[in-house]
Structure 1
Amino acid sequence: MFSNKEEFKAVFLKKLEMMHGKRFEESTIRDQYQTLGNMVREYISKNWIQTNERSRANNHKKVYYLSIEFLLGRLLGSNLLNLGIREVVEEGLHDLGIHLQDIEESEADAGLGNGGLGRLAACFLDSLASLNLPGHGYGIRYKHGLFDQKIVDGFQVELPEQWLRHGNVWEVRKEDLAVEVNFWGKVDASYDGGRLTFRHVDSEKVMAVPYDMPVIGYGAKTVNTLRLWSAEPAKTFPTNKNVMQYKRETEAISEFLYPDDTHDEGKILRLKQQYFLVAASIGSIVRTHRRQHGHLYQLHEHVAIHVNDTHPVLAIPELMRVLLDEEGMSWDDAWHITTNTISYTNHTTLSEALEKWPIHIFQPLLPRIYMIVEEINERFCRELWNRYPGQWKRIEEMAIIAHGLVKMAHLAIVGSYSVNGVAKLHSEILKYREMKLFYEVFPQKFNNKTNGITHRRWLLKANQELSLLITQAIGDRWIKNPETLLDLKPYAFDASFRQELGNVKQKRKVLLAKRIYQQTGIVVDESSIFDVQVKRLHAYKRQLLNVLHIMYLYNRLKEDTSFSIYPRTFIFGAKASPGYYYAKRIIKLINSLADKINGDPQTNEQLKVIFLENYRVSLAEEIFPAADVSEQISTASKEASGTGNMKFMMNGAITLGTLDGANIEILEAVGKENIFIFGLTAQEVLDYYQNGGYRAHEYYHHDRRIKQVVDQLVNGFFRDAHDHFEPIYDSLLMQNDEYFVLRDFAAYAEAQERVEAAYRNRDRWLQMSAINIAHSGYFSSDRTIQEYASDIWKIKPML
């Protein structure tokens, strides 16, 4: 149906009439999207089935990637691209008077994630399929993603994100493969043939119903599966609840991503979500394996289960439960299989993100799982005692259960065979600071896998103009072999190539300027420097440092009429977690500053501030190609890796960043002359935390610029501020500036001056841009996945 445009048009028109019961002339954009989506899914169904059959027939070892988030974005465009049929579809639709772009924009973002963690999982699935590796994703089919963000009077307002409002054309419901998940109840112990056995009884049952989505690899030889679980009532209702209460509580499990967990009710729901994901996924994996092999004694030889951060770590005790209670194995056999099946990626050095669950919540909700975790802890502590006799403090610090809490990161390390960080610096911090005691016990488990992004979405799809320019220069090998982007490096010194590169960037800036006007009504200078910081709003990512510097520039422009800057458009995009009130004040601050600056005729020709609401994957695809400057200014040691830095780099933006996360590896790749680095090092930050000595007041009192902008947070400079920004003021001075914003301010301001000076030399700037693009191939998720496949999972391509 996609062999040529005439055949495509005929099938498209026929299918549209059959699906929607109306003539083409009466159809809506949504009808057309649904029709095209169904055609694509039907087109790949044969390959989808064949991929699974090929994997079974060749007995390939498979990896199952468990993640609480999958930030997929829109799928139509990337699927057409990976299938190689975009051109036929575009031409056929054009003949019918339809713009493919309009159809693509009618698709809802599958916003099943919060940021980098979920987007990384989506990129990994793309690379697994594109490299013909047998790898499938398991997640939750949230009825609502994170939230739709609206800015009202400068404040973030959260609205339900209804990505499923019109259905999901890519999914296939497979009710016959539902898995039963058990909560609450109690555990009965009895002897069976001299062996102590356990049964989880009087439980509240929930059905996990799978919805399968195809993951189409580039070239479409391999179509893997993303299985998302939906929570639905079981046939047998609990006797201690009325039907409606049970139905509401059950459906809540897969209703919202990250429910508010400030109270016990929210904590219970989050823990339910995590166990629901792993119990359904392990149940599905085990059923597939049993059907092929009959028993589970060689499970670890055929299956790798990877847990993406601590959210799915209950896979460890759940797999133990299956092996012990259902398969009847001994503890030692079950533990050997489990600890050779499960691997774990750590994504953070932030202590608040290293999950800990109160026993008073964990034990009653998951009684059998708690028993198993308790036994794992007892055995582990006994091993530690044998190794470090008398060292009670060490054992206390390493215990999985201690002080009324179950520590999920500890469970992850003890129960897995591989523990990896996501950038060289991050992995070193894990080994020598955060997880130092565990590294001393299990040095063989720890390794690094620097994150990557799928260049097919973030360059080939998002920036077609730049992709075409690259292909004209070096051919199209880079699409399948991104490391060959290095062949572009000599072109950085070619004047005509630099000219074309500048033209491509300018076209994308014009397009983003149009989007900004549509969304905000603000006209921005398309020839200004587009300085962009888009990412989750968190104090350690230091959007505040950026804002305070913009305030300083504004002050100087107002006070000194002889001072001028190269026109600059500062662009922000970010969502703050609904309960993170400090982050929401930063959003208000950005918008208050934008109102003040954009409405000031004295400065607004040189300075504009834009906050693009509802930052998401599809909006990111418009922003990255247009950016000149990539703001990666987190407090050193706090950002595990970052992937936005890679997306900007791949699209020719120059990084302005700290020595944090993967910024360090970008620096190593491009050289110090092609990046702007400033600020404290990770070691300097750690020294402050360990030894003290930082006094924010000293920077406040000794730098006039800092004192002025900090005072403006509370002195009436913002007429609509009231007391909104007092918490920000207090965080800097009363709470001693935890993330060293004031300490790095002077270095940041100086780095921004270097940015402006470099940009004024247009030819040199474009050379830097080309060098960044050429070195970005290393940061493709294809490279990352190849490392996971060979070093951790031991899986091979399906030929």
Structure 2
Amino acid sequence: MPKDTLTLPTATAFADDVLSHLRVTLAKRASGATRHDWRVALSLAIRDRVVEPWLASVDRTYAANGKRVYYLSLEFLIGRLIEDVTINLGLEDVAREAMESLGQDYQSLVAEEPDAALGNGGLGRLAACFMDSLSTLGIPAHGYGIRYEHGLFEQHFKGGVQIETAEAWLAEHHVWEFERPEVRYDIGFGGHVDYDAEGRATWHPAEEVIAQGYDTPTVGWQAAWVNTLRLWAAKPIVHFDLEAFNRGDFIGATASEALARTLSRVLYPDDTTEQGRTLRLKQEYFFVAASLRDLLRRHLFEGHALSELPDHVAIQLNDTHPALAGPELIRLLVDEHGMAFAEAMRTARACLGYTNHTLLPEALERWSEGLMKQVLPRHYAIICLLNMESLDETGIAILENGSVKMGELAFFMAHKVNGVSALHTELVKETLFADLHRSYPDRIVNQTNGVTPRRWIHSANPALSSLITETIGEGWVSDLERLRELEPHVGTASFDEAFAVAKRANKARLSDWVARETGMALDPDAMFDIQIKRIHEYKRQLLNILETVALWNEIRDDPNGGWTPRVKIFGGKAAPGYVMAKSIIRLINDVAETVNADPVTRHLLRVVYPENYNVSMAERLIPACDLSEQISTAGKEASGTGNMKLSLNGALTVGTLDGANVEIREHVGAENFFLFGLTADEVGARRTRPGHARAAIEASPRLKRVLGQIANGLFSGGEARYGDILGMLWDTDYFLVTADFDSYYDIQRQIDVAYRDRAEWTRKAALQTARMGWFSSDRTIAGYAKDIWGAKSLL
């Protein structure tokens, strides 16, 4: 739908809609309305504008009688929606003017909206970008996940230590969703399986909950298409056991409700305990089972035969979390619909695609056979049959040493398996699934990740977005490769000056926010050096903070050495049970406290670590970034999407040849990328050398000095609290922080010199934006549709 055909209300009419919701929906007068009331009324007035295109998209999907995409993901990190939806509706100017006419500041209401706590990091944000692109391209799709009551967790620091508290995003009604009480499925766990004389199985679960759907519309660009994100909340079969209550068993009376709420309460429960592992397995089955029943119901409602399922259904597994979709779809087809096992396996396989997101063995889930048999006895029996099929076809076991290997299960049950960057896909073929790849040489394909330009430049960076539109015109937001049209303008005085002004405005805005949040004053003219991502050893925030200490030492040794002022900004959470990652967080905060208090260096070096990194914080940090830290151990990052967002917004990258860094460097030019460190092949070779970590430290006086300072408690009040980090670095250092330290330190000093030539830095930064159009999630989704799903746009 072309933008000029969109029917937009006047600001006056829209203000009337807001007032109507304030009065009729919230029963409030304008004179007594709180900021919360105004935000809810604004959200509902915007949501009203989504309903008609949403229903029209549903009608066109049914009329087309074609294929739908079902995207199964344990995370959907959608962030705040007011700004996202208004921009896709073309309504942002109208909404801003309307709220100003009502005496309300539109931007402050946007900022007050809670972030939906439905994800952790890149995996969930990728799923949200993909849903945006599916709608923008007009491909009929449902996203399926869990409606977490508390999500991951809210991060706070106490004495530098990460403290996790419950995220309360659903403490108030989520105004963007539509509750679907009629969409309910009974989901069972445990129990036993009976077999009749012909071998037909009947599963008798020991406990059951209800999965109820909640729908959030996902609006594409200019509202030409709207898809559905359906999230499942667990509800009890029996809300309250009155008989137990009357017996005095007050706790037992609510046991069913407690079980149900636990299932959809928290994302990634700590799985270091047996109870945590059981809950996590139940969660994964809960959302997969509800989603498959829902899509089968829709398929049968349309009058299709189950044998036609692959013609109408494409199911994408976002990592291994939904890997139970294979056994569950077979169970539904065999046990509930009478299909033969061999046909059910072929049918399920033709529907399923599997995206692998990691080369880390610990991230490829394994469940003990005992736990699987206890929680899902029928599925365990099906997995045993699939294991025999896999051994017959490939010689590869799905069951091994008492464990169910979920990566192998997902691979075996998918007709296509994709990596998420060119390097990652090759490593999946060569290392992770080498044996399976030899058996199915055409199954693995590459789909390099992308990010939505609607959220990550047009909405998050209006200053740069306006400059782009003024320079090349409209249309680039839905055709990001048009950014190449900027390149002839890069290097001209007028464009480069405007680009620099936009960047500095974003840095000033971030500085103001940091001052409000932390009381720390930042200089917007300093280099803003940013590393934002999940805290994990392979992402090497540790390498960054060790180099920070080394830089601090050098500045103290020579305060008048012509140093380039830097602000080091970290953002990210560590999993509650990940002890080493939490130690790294504490070290970063300890170093920050010392460095920021040093009168000799604090005008040249600051370290900032804001609490509770989320989508909204990313939208502040990314447009303000000068230097993007993408420093993972080569061969460990599957792709990354933060690297794309930062580069798209004009940040230069310092990084290893890992994940999508390889392709980013190819697109922006090697001369515009700060490369350091070992390659993936060199990483493998270095690990085989006995004592490689100790040798690297001994060969680097600068690093040895830093480690000695940490060991002596310089950053921890004399307390020797980092024995775990130091022991790992001296003894094993699997992620090769020590091996890459000197290379990293040296490239950072080259970056210091490069940043001092501000005109040349601005030119290189502008080229990042001009050359990053290929990394749109629209391009990625078009690739999935063509190579994996066989799905077509209905626009």
Q: TM-score range by the shorter chain?
A: over 0.9
Deviation at 1:9, TM superposition (A): 1.6
Taking only aligned residues, the RMSD between alpha carbons, in angstroms, comes to 1.5
Q: Please tell me whether the aligned partners of residues 571 and 613 of structure 2 are also in contact (alpha carbons under 8 angstroms).
A: yes
Quote the Cα distance in structure 1 between the aligned partners of 2:78 and 2:689.
Answer: 42
**C-alpha separation in 1, matches of 2:120 and 2:718:** 28
Distance 1:37 1:202 in 2: 42
Paired letter, 1:352: E
State yes or no: 1:770 paired with 2:776.
no
Q: In 2, distance between residues paired with 1:295 and 1:466?
A: 51
Q: Is the 1:557–1:564 Cα contact (8 Å) retained in structure 2?
A: no
2:4 corresponds to: none
1:49 and 1:656 map into 2 onto residues whose CA distance is 46
Q: Distance in 2 between matches of 1:85 and 1:210?
A: 28
2:210 to 191, 195, 207: 207
* d(CA) in 2 for partners of 1:236, 1:99: 43
Please point out which of 700, 719, 740 is paired with 2:736.
740
- Look up the match of 1:389: none
Among residues 680, 683, 701, which one is paired with 2:681 in the alignment? 683
> Which residues of 2 match residues 772-787 of structure 1 at below 5 A?
772-787=768-783
Output the TM-score relative to the length of structure 2: 0.97
Q: TM-score, normalised by structure 1?
A: 0.96
Q: Which residue of 2 aligns with 1:391?
A: none
**Mapped partners of 1:461, 1:488: distance in 2:** 19
Q: How far did 1:694 drift?
A: 5.4
Distance 1:11 1:243 in 2: 45
Alpha-carbon shift at residue 562 of structure 1 (Å): 4.1
Question: Quick check: 1:488 aligned with 2:486?
Answer: yes
Per the alignment, residue 712 of structure 1 pairs with: 709
Alpha-carbon distance, 1:719 to partner: 3.9
CA pair 539-795 structure 1, distance change in 2 beyond 3 A: same
Alignment of 1:57-96 (within 5 A): 57-96=63-102
User: Secondary structure of the residue that 1:514 maps to in structure 2?
Assistant: helix
**Residue 170 of structure 1 aligns to which amino acid in structure 2?**
W
CA distance in structure 1 between the partners assigned to 2:290 and 2:253 by the alignment: 23
Matched-pair contact (CA < 8 Å) for 2:18–2:44: no
Distance 1:222 1:243 in 2: 46
The range that moved more, 233-242 or 581-590, is 233-242
Rate the CA distance shift 1:721–1:227 in 2: closer, same or farther, 3 A: farther
**Conservation of the 8 A alpha-carbon contact between 2:212 and 2:234:** yes
Are the equivalent residues in 2 in contact too, given 1:533–1:573 (CA < 8 A)? Answer: yes
Give the AA of the match of 1:684.
Answer: E
**1:544 match:** 542
Structure 2 residue 576 is matched with structure 1 residue 574:
no
Matched residue SS, 1:47: helix
Which residues in structure 2 correspond to 1:332-411 (within 5 Å)?
332-384=342-394, 395=395, 398-411=396-409
User: What are the superposed Cα offsets for residues 564-618 of structure 1, whole Å, 9 maximum, x if unpaired?
Assistant: 4111111111111111111111111111111111111111111111111110000
C-alpha distance after superposition, 1:173-199 (max 9, x if no partner): 1111101111111101003xxx43111
Structure 1 position 92, deviation (Å)? 1.1
Partner-residue secondary structure (3-state), 2:581: helix
Cα offset, 1:143, TM superposition? 0.1
Alignment deviations for residues 668-697 of structure 1 (CA, whole Å, 9 cap, x no partner): 1011111101000011112234x3355111
* In 2, Cα distance between equivalents of 1:51 and 1:235: 36
State the shift of 1:721 in Å: 5.7
Q: Is the 8 A contact 1:320 1:334 kept in 2?
A: yes
Per-residue displacement from partner, 1:418-445 (whole Å, max 9, x unpaired)? 0000000000000011111010001111
Alignment partners' CA distance in 2, 1:114 and 1:82: 25
Answering whether residue 234 of structure 2 is matched by residue 231 of structure 1, we say: yes
CA distance in 1 between partners of 2:623 and 2:281 (Å): 39
Paired residues for 1:88-487 under 5 Å: 88-191=94-197, 195-235=198-238, 242-384=252-394, 395=395, 398-487=396-485
Read off the aligned partner of 2:453 and give its amino acid letter: H
Look up the SS of the partner of 1:310 in the other structure: coil
Show the counterpart of 2:57: 51
* Greater CA drift, 272-281 or 39-48: 39-48
Deviation track 1:121-153 (CA, whole Å, cap 9, x = no partner) reads 000000000111111100000000111111111
Once the two structures are TM-superposed, the CA of residue 235 in structure 1 deviates from its matched residue by 4.0
Matches within 5 A, 1:659-670: 659-670=657-668
**Residues 721, 411 of structure 1: alpha-carbon distance in 2 compared, 3 angstrom cutoff:** farther
| Structure 2 Cα separation of the partners of residues 487 and 604 of structure 1 | 41
- Could you tell me how far apart the structure 2 residues matched to 1:663 and 1:721 are? 39
Is 1:759 aligned with 2:755? yes
Counterparts in 2 of 1:249 and 1:566: CA distance versus 1, 3 Å = same
Q: Deviations over 1:319-374 (max 9, x none)?
A: 00011011101112111111100000000000100100001111011011111111
Whether contact under 8 Å (1:205, 1:237) holds in the other structure is no
Shift of 1:294: 4.6
Structure 1 residue aligned with 2:515, among 505, 510, 517? 517
Give the Cα–Cα distance (whole angstroms) in 2 for the partners of residues 155 and 467 of structure 1.
38
- Distance in 2 (CA, whole Å) between partners of 1:356 and 1:10 is 55
Q: How many residues align?
A: 782
- Percent of aligned positions with the same letter in both sequences? 43
- 3-state SS in 2 of match to 1:170: coil
Q: Does the 8 Å CA contact 1:182/1:203 hold for their aligned counterparts?
A: yes
Identify the residue that residue 3 of structure 2 maps to in structure 1.
none
1:33 alignment partner in structure 2? 39
Aligned-partner Cα distance in 2 for 1:294–1:705:
68
AA partner of residue 774 (structure 1): A
CA–CA distance in structure 2, aligned partners of residues 65 and 629 of structure 1 = 33
Specify which of 680, 693, 696 is matched with residue 693 of structure 2.
696
Note the C-alpha offset of 1:236.
9.4
Query: Which residue in 2 is equivalent to 1:728?
Result: 725
- Verify the 8 A CA contact 1:150 1:156 in the aligned structure 2: yes
What is the alpha-carbon distance in structure 2 between the residues aligned to residue 716 and residue 50 of structure 1?
64
What SS does the aligned partner of 1:110 have? coil
Contact 2:189 2:205 in 1 (8 A): no
- Corresponding residue to 1:557 among 555, 568, 579: 555
Query: In structure 1, how many angstroms separate the alpha carbons of the residues matched to 2:716 and 2:127?
Result: 43
Query: What residue number does 1:794 align with?
Result: 790
**Paired residues of 2:535 and 2:572 also in contact (CA < 8 A):** yes
SS in 1 for 2:195: strand
Cα contact 1:74–1:109 (8 A) shared by 2: yes
Report if aligned partners of 1:278, 1:314 keep a CA contact under 8 Å in 2: yes
- Matched ranges for 1:611-630 at <5 A: 611-630=609-628
User: 2:116 touches 2:169 (CA, 8 Å); kept in 1?
Assistant: yes
2:635 is matched with which residue?
A: 637
Pick from 15, 20, 29: which aligns with 1:23?
A: 29
Is the contact made by 1:713 and 1:726 (CA closer than 8 Å) also made in structure 2?
no
